[in-house]
Amino acid sequence: MADNNSTECDGNCSSCASAAGCSDPKKTAAGIQQKVDINVKHVILVLSGKGGVGKSTVSTNLAMALSSKGYATGIADMDIHGPNIPKMLGIEDEKLTSMDGKKISPVKITGNLSVVSMAFLLPDKTSPVIWRGPMKNTAIKQFLEETDWGELDFLVVDLPPGTGDEALAVAQLAPNIAGAVIVTTPQEVAILDSSKSVKFVEKIGLKVLGIVENMSGFTCPHCGEIVDLFGRGGGEKAAEELNVPYLGSIPLDKEMREAGDSGKPFIVKRDGTEQNKITWQHVDDVMEEVLKQIKE
């Protein structure tokens, strides 16, 4: 692989920051897998440095927003141990099938939105996945390469927290990665972990599309006062310090939580209340910023 100061490949793939995005056949000899062959224009990775920050909520609403704009969109739920996307889309009881015995048929949500998830393969909702890295990597490759995605404009990849096996495997295997969206909450411990995610994405040679600050302020339903339960502005400050785009904030909203629990993504819900309008606009603005960063 080429180092940061040269276009020449020295063959040392394991230490090369650009290995994830490189197509040089020497990667195979170095133990790094080649990109899989799927027909997708843009792959968007959604990461977080720690759990519980709303990464799957952002992934779900982003995919729904893209599909509602007419884009053929897929969601690859790569959180092997904690797959939540089916719950958030109200499709927990679905199972993956195969039409031809070769390709996996993703679960269709709408005419232009489809999903694959480990949750569709479990015998019940409480079954744990007790796998080591190699088995997870095999499943990730199958979800990408052996799924009949058709022609996609966007594939949103919901990754587990951290910078481990799943994130590395997807970065190495997925073609046409537009970049990564980093999700954080405002408090300092979350910002510290999200900063590691930014550095990880940059280290493997991918673009950071930007940081989303989730759970940013809570509006009291009784008096209308905004209460910063987790602080405020940490995501924007981190983006500035790390020199990456700030995609915006999403308020801490009870209806956002209820939407995820009920399987109806918030981005498609408008009930006319003032708080709903405010939160909906924040969510929509974040999704528009993601699209803007991909087009730049």
For residue 51, say whether it is annotated as part of any ligand binding site.
yes
Tokens standing for residue 127: 């079954």
Tell whether 52 is in a known binding site. Answer: yes
On whether 49 is known to bind a ligand per the annotation, the reply is yes
Q: Is 54 annotated as a binding residue?
A: yes
The reply to whether 277 sits in an annotated binding site is no
Q: Is 103 annotated as a binding residue?
A: no
Residue 286 counted as an annotated binding residue: no
Residue 196 marked ligand-binding: no
**d(Cα 79, Cα 288) in Å, to the nearest integer?**
25
Known binding-site residues for ATP equal 49-56
Q: Which residues are part of a known binding site?
A: 49-56
